[in-house]
Amino acid sequence: MVKIAVLSDVHGNATALAAVLEDAHKQGVNEFWTVGDMTVRGPESERCLDLLDQVHPTAAVLGNHEQNYQKVLKATPTNFTKPKQVMATILTAYDRRQLSPLHFQQLLQLPLTVTKHVGPLTVRLQHVLPNFASGHSLAPTAEQANFDQATTGAVDLVIYAHTHQPIMRYSTRGQLVLNAGTVGLPTAINPHLRQPRASYLILTIDETGLRETDYRRVAFDWRQAIKIARADHLPYFEFYEQTLKTNAYQYAPSAVAAYNIQHDMDKMARLILTDNRR
């Protein structure tokens, strides 16, 4: 029997990740999988990777924010100008200042999918779809056809991320689709379901198959996370602060666009991309 902790969407929040890892150890977890977005938006991406190094994840896949690292490295000041591209440029530069060269290269080289064979189960990890790490196709209320697309191939169980919502669905072929929620940026659409707690998932698998799915909610010191972000001059700090304070999503493109204009973030992004090309 194996107990696997599934971690996703940490977003550089080492305060939340440390609390989750402590809880996982108390639950007797003996293996860890990560499903993308370990970094970006929060202030402590390097510390997050240091914490993960201590538990030696046996599976890790690319998230859309790690994929943005790749895009920023290839971008020019004229072809990467949308509001969220500007934000990605600035947050990538912030992370690169703290990430070790080894960790940065590891994030660049993450695969889109990883397939694991545990007991009688074939399990695939992916941030969204098998060939695409971003988008809203697997939102909690998405059409069944989208979840069927997510479970293509000979798999029994698909684990994805990105939505920040714990989810359990099935494909029309009966494959199980699970989402562990978010460790670092807890949010919910319904205000009555918002909690300032980190989400993760423990899978217990034995020789008969999936024995238990345990969706965990772990309290963490979100006020301390905000203090760290403020002290470390996190770009777009106000978005991060309000997300942790309200547990409501703050990063809408329109809000980011307005912030970019107000703070002349486009100019900052152009300078970063110009420097990258030298």
- What per-residue confidence (pLDDT) applies to 275? 82
Domain 2-276 CATH assignment equals 3.60.21.10: yes
- What per-residue confidence (pLDDT) applies to 277? 67
Strands 31-34 and 2-7: parallel
Distance CA 6, CA 166 (A): 11
Which amino acid belongs to residue 61? V
For residue 258, report the phi and psi dihedrals to the nearest 5 degrees. -65, -40
For 221, the token pair is 């010191």
Strands 113-118 and 121-126: antiparallel
Mean pLDDT of 7-17: 98
Enumerate long-range contacts of 132-141, CB under 8 Å, 24 or more apart.
133/36, 133/61, 133/62, 133/63, 133/64, 133/67, 133/162, 134/64, 134/67, 134/162, 138/162, 138/163, 138/179, 139/163, 140/165, 140/167
Under a CB-based contact definition with an 8 Å cutoff, are residues 18 and 42 in contact? no
- What per-residue confidence (pLDDT) applies to 271? 94
Q: pTM here?
A: 0.96
The answer to whether residue 255 scores a pLDDT higher than 70 is yes
Interior angle at CA 68, CA 176 and CA 132, nearest 5: 30
The answer to whether residue 261 scores a pLDDT higher than 90 is yes
Which amino acid belongs to residue 227? K
33-83 per-position pLDDT tens digit? 999 999 999 999 999 999 999 999 999 999 999 999 999 999 999 999 999
Q: Within 13 Å and on the Cβ side, how many CA atoms surround 202? A: 19
Distance CA 88, CA 255 (A): 14
- What per-residue confidence (pLDDT) applies to 48? 98
Average pLDDT, the chain: 97
Confidence tier at 278 by pLDDT (50, 70, 90): low
Residue 136, class by beta-carbon neighbours within 10 Å (0-12 exposed, 13-18 middle, 19+ buried)? Answer: exposed
Residue pointed to by tokens 């969220």: 84
For 208, the token pair is 């008969």
The answer to whether residue 237 scores a pLDDT higher than 80 is yes
- What per-residue confidence (pLDDT) applies to 110? 98
119-161 per-position pLDDT tens digit? 999 999 999 999 999 999 999 999 999 999 999 999 999 999 9
Cα-trace Rg, the chain: 18
Domain boundaries, the chain: 2-276
